[in-house]
Structure 1
């Protein structure tokens, strides 16, 4: 390994796009994240997928009057 590297002409690599998804940052309550992780482990799925599915269900439900 070199002692020093020259990044003067370095360029950022392309970011792999995920079709149909958008990267955002959300601030969620600690309890919500913990519950999602716990449920995701028992369902053998990812917590992000679980939260996405729950949000989709909530948005598909008719709005309360």
Structure 2
């Protein structure tokens, strides 16, 4: 690591951030999930109220997919 960059980081670290007291961290815990990719979607407030969980959104979208497929077959 570049020595100037390292000193800059050390200078900005606040005293109240004592990372030596942090316990239980796992390096790479979400690495595989991150590699798979994420599809994050922001719902409008009225939609989020009707579908408050990711399970509810997924269930509604799957139902819409089935309905669309059944309309195409008819």
- TM-score, structure 1 normalization: 0.48
User: Highest relative contact order (Cα 8 Å, sep 6+), 1 or 2?
Assistant: 1
Larger Rg: 2
Identify the structure with the greater helix proportion. 2
